[in-house]
Structure 1
Amino acid sequence: MKNSNRLSQEEIKVILRAADEIVTRGGRTLLAKILKGSKEKKVLELELNRCPVYGYFKSEKLDDIMQKIDWMIDYDFLDIEYFGKLPMIVFTDRGWKIESDQYTDELLNEWREWLKQGIISPDMTYLKDRNRPMILLFLSKIKESGEKAFIPYLKLWETVDYKKVREEIRKTIDELEDKQPMDVQVVQERTESINEALKGSAPQDLLLKCWECGKRFTFTIGEQQFYKEKGFTYPKRCEECRNQRNDMFF
């Protein structure tokens, strides 16, 4: 394993938040530069310096930040997918569960800040075409807040989004107007689920079945990391069958 030092929950969330800015658009190095607070031309052109966690690890070396990112990949928070020959950062299911939870909190706090500033008619098109499960989670949190002051924002949002989202927005408005009590169990279960996800999944050797001979073979952690870095798919044959297959062609 490249880095065995466990990251704190705060560090995990920070790296996921930075990754959200470049998912499928950039790789490990660009992610590290956001977290370092780089003033490199590409970072500034993409306005990545506006990311809320930009420069969070500014006092650390870029190589050390890269090790943290590799740890996130090893522990199943982030992954690498190849788009052509370019390795891009993507979320795993675990990583997205955590990021969508903290990002919806960020959206909720943004609305509260608008209320403090007396902003009446914000442009709600920024919520259109967002990830649907995340939007539903955001609406759930608005319901749970019980804040009727959000209703004007919801009504504005309702006018610009698609039918299915509009239906959920309308339900949220109705529940806020009726002062429906918060479902404490739902909130508790979500919190427990996020805390469990934050533990990560330690890398381990995998036992794969050979397509050729049917025998089981070990695919080590080191081999998994190598294959991932090169953009290779997992091997379908054991080493013996691979060697035999190669002998046929050479």
Structure 2
Amino acid sequence: MSKQNTMSHEEIKAILRAADPIIAQGGRTLLAKILKGSKEKKVLELELDKTPFYGFFKTEKLEEVTKKIDWMIDHDFLDIEYFGKLPRVVYTERGWLIESDQYADGLISEWRDWIAEGQENPDMRYLKDRNRQMILLMLEKIKESGNQGFIPYLKLWEKIEYKKVRAEIRETIRVLETGEPVHELEVQERQNKIEEALMGSAPYDYLLKCFECGERFTFTVGEQKFYKQKGFALPKRCKECREEYSSW
């Protein structure tokens, strides 16, 4: 288990945001270098210095930043999956719940900047083929904003999107044009889920059933971390049966 005891909500969100461009493509070391603000050649070649929260932990040692990432893995915000023999960082369900919410907020904030700048014809293709769940969440948040200044951008977006998303965009335009009130209870429920997710959960030992003898055995936190780092499947045998099996 990581020696990092706890982290603030701000730190959790920063690590999740910084991880976005390397999800399923890079490992913990690369993520640590992004957060540290490394000037390493690979980081710059991949333009990861343009990543949100690049250098967020620039005053800390790389080893300490890595411990923070391990804490995120231990507490079920991030996970490690193996693609071939290479370990890659991925979001857990909890991590993606938080990240999709703040990602959608970031996209909407950019639209607000466009309105302030008087930008009229932005290229909306950057939204095509984005995660569908996050896009639908973004549209819900736009409805909740009641901001009719978003309507021209929605109309531009509708022209380049797929059928199902176009229907949701049209519905969002309708809600903004009519001033239909939002369901405050649904908004509050979503916010409560985000707050609950940010609390995380400490890792714990749990029981597995032995494939050989049928007895239950403890799979400790330390063993879980080791198996995860190595990309091993869950053990099917208890310690005694493993030792007996290996002696055959």
How far off is 1:237 after superposition? 1.2
Report the AA paired with residue 233 of structure 1.
A
What runs of 5+ residues in structure 2 fail to find an aligned partner?
none
Q: 1:213, CA displacement in angstroms?
A: 1.6
| Match of residue 184 from structure 1 | 184
Secondary structure at the counterpart of residue 49 of structure 1 = helix
Per the alignment, residue 82 of structure 1 pairs with 82
Write the distance in 2 (CA, Å) between the matches of 1:126 and 1:209: 48
Cα deviation per residue 1:122-168 (whole Å; 9 max; x = unaligned)? Answer: 11111111111111000000000000110110011101111000010
Which SS does the other structure have where 1:20 is aligned? Answer: helix
* 1:218 maps onto 2:218 in alignment: yes
Q: Distance in 1 between matches of 2:173 and 2:213?
A: 60
**In the alignment, residue 79 of structure 2 is paired with which amino acid?**
D
Q: How does 1:140-155 map to 2 (within 5 A)?
A: 140-155=140-155
- Residues in 2 aligned to 1:201 and 1:213: alpha-carbon distance in whole angstroms: 32
For residue 33 of structure 2, what is the amino acid of its counterpart? K
CA distance in 2, matches of 1:142, 1:238: 53
Q: Which amino acid aligns with 2:229?
A: E
> What TM-score does the superposition give when structure 1 sets the normalisation length?
0.98
- The TM-score, its normalising length taken from structure 2, stands at 0.98
1:158: which partner in 2?
158
Distance across 2 between alignment mates of 1:217 and 1:8 = 35
> Offset at 1:101?
0.5
Matched, 1:125 2:125: yes
Residue 176 of structure 2 is aligned to residue 173 of structure 1:
no
RMSD, aligned α-carbons = 0.8
Instruction: Please give the alpha-carbon distance, in whole angstroms, between the structure 1 residues aligned to 2:4 and 2:204.
Output: 13
- SS of 1:237 mapped into structure 2: coil
Match of 1:81, SS state, is: strand
Task: Provide, for residues 157-180 of structure 1, a one-character-per-residue CA deviation record: whole Å limited to 9, x for no partner.
Answer: 101111000010011011111101
Q: How many residue pairs were aligned?
A: 248
For residues 147 and 153 of structure 1, what CA distance do their matches in structure 2 show? 11
* Partner residue, 1:46: 46
Structure 1: any 5+ residue segments left out of the alignment?
none
How do 1:65-80 residues align onto structure 2 when only pairs under 5 Å count? 65-80=65-80
Q: How much has 1:4 moved relative to structure 2?
A: 3.8
How do residues 91-110 of structure 1 correspond to structure 2 at under 5 angstroms? Answer: 91-110=91-110
Distance 1:183 1:79 in 2: 34
Give identity over the alignment, percent: 67
Instruction: Give the match's secondary structure for 1:171.
Output: helix
